[in-house]
Amino acid sequence: MTTNQNIPVLRFPEFGGEWKIHNLGDIAKFSKGKGISKADIEMDGINECIRYGELYTQYSEVIKEVVSKTNIPLSELVISSENDVIIPASGETTLDIAKASCVMKSGVALGGDLNIIKTVHNGVFLSYYLNSKKKLDIASMAQGISVVHLYSSQLSLLNLNLCSLPEQQKIASFLTAVDEKIQQLTSKKALLEQYKKGVMQQLFSREIRFRPALSDLPRAESRGVEGPENGEDYPEWEERTLGDIGEVKMCRRVFNEQTSPDGEIPFYKIGSFGKKADAFISRELYFDYRERFSFPKKGDILISAAGTIGRLVVYDGEEAYYQDSNIVWIENDNTIILNQFLYFALQLAKFNTEGGTIQRLYNSILKAKRIDCPSLPEQQKIATFLSALDEKIGQVGQQLEQAKGWKKGLLQGMFV
């Protein structure tokens, strides 16, 4: 045993000494679940159950609440004990199959294609450990091509470094608390997004309206909510087409041989639109094209016209280039409609498309798209209110990503 090889980088101060080496088969007993088909799942079923596919979509390292139920009698099924660790016995890829979860409830039916691991060690600790430090080791054990399989005989040979049971409990409790924080942030972000979606529907259907008043919050007087005092109503909304607002523009085409996987100026193709750029062009080409051809100005709304139609990005003025007719924008002088308002109006817009296998949003269709426009002051209030919501959603999203990054670092540092 090499000195310090079996001591984690991150550790609670009350614990010391090296972790001990074990094979999983030395500390665990293995069994298999019993078949529960998709057709066996009942919304009002009497018995909770877990199917192997749900480990990929529904569960993380700890299973406290079970999402599925069945009416198959428990006497015909394999039933969990609290602290059981379950791993898929089959999957699409070797990395997918390396997915462990600890069942924190007894009496849950465990479906077929599940490896069940029973041990006196902490199942939550094992799940976090197997999903991080041991993920690649488990993946290397899986066999198969179109469908990969993982057998208990293979898992039994998995080499583990284990600490004492009290330290396992401390690590498990800490990481569970981190996951609870991540779940809270995930739920908070989802609720904010749901609220934004609902209030947008009400604002753009004019179910609720802003009024010229001291308060900047929308009020729903028709629902019995007291409206702001003073001020007359804003004028009625007018219907406009995007063609009334401005011209549909696109950048000059850049060919693949003019791009590289690394470089100075990000180049966004339709596939990377709204994401991180995966190609670049030279600074010389960028300034040459920008000087000679159409180019969006800061605040313009870029629209995807192919692939997933209607994705939106507000151009922030960065030095970046966008691919020809697949990505377009409206050249708007903000005299009829504010870009900030248009961005939210287009989020609710449904676009007609044309084409065969590949659907496209043609310029003529885009220009004919009708948008209901309030007065500029009301546009500004709507845009300011919704932008504040977007900012809040962005802040929570940033906190969520930071928490996920923190968890990733913990998983790397707390295990050997």
Residue 97 to residue 245: CA distance in whole angstroms: 53
271 and 194 within one domain: no
358 and 318 within one domain: yes
Q: Are 100 and 146 in contact (CB under 8 A)?
A: no
* Helix (H), strand (E) counts: the chain: 12, 22
The predicted structure's pLDDT at residue 213:
64
151 and 25 within one domain: yes
Domain end point (choices 136, 162, 188): 162
The predicted structure's pLDDT at residue 26:
96
Residue 399 to residue 107: CA distance in whole angstroms: 36
Note whether residue 3 is domain-resident: no
Note whether residue 242 is domain-resident: yes
Note whether residue 8 is domain-resident: no
Report how many domains make up the chain: 3
The predicted structure's pLDDT at residue 4:
60
Q: What phi and psi values does residue 240 have, to the nearest 5 degrees?
A: -135, 155
242 and 204 within one domain: no
272 and 355 within one domain: yes
In this structure, what CATH number is given to the domain that contains residue 172? Answer: 1.10.287.1120
154 and 98 within one domain: yes
153 and 218 within one domain: no
In this structure, what CATH number is given to the domain that contains residue 135? Answer: 3.90.220.20
The predicted structure's pLDDT at residue 27:
97
**Strand pairing partners for 102?**
62, 85
Note whether residue 47 is domain-resident: yes
* Domain extent for 393: 166-225+374-416
Residues in the chain predicted with pLDDT less than 70, given as ranges, are 1-4, 213-231
H or E element, residue 143: strand 143-144
The predicted structure's pLDDT at residue 223:
38
Note whether residue 142 is domain-resident: yes
245 and 215 within one domain: no
Token code pair at residue 332 = 């708007």
Answer yes or no: pTM beyond 0.75.
Answer: yes
Q: What phi and psi values does residue 241 have, to the nearest 5 degrees?
A: -100, 155
The predicted structure's pLDDT at residue 355:
75
283 and 359 within one domain: yes
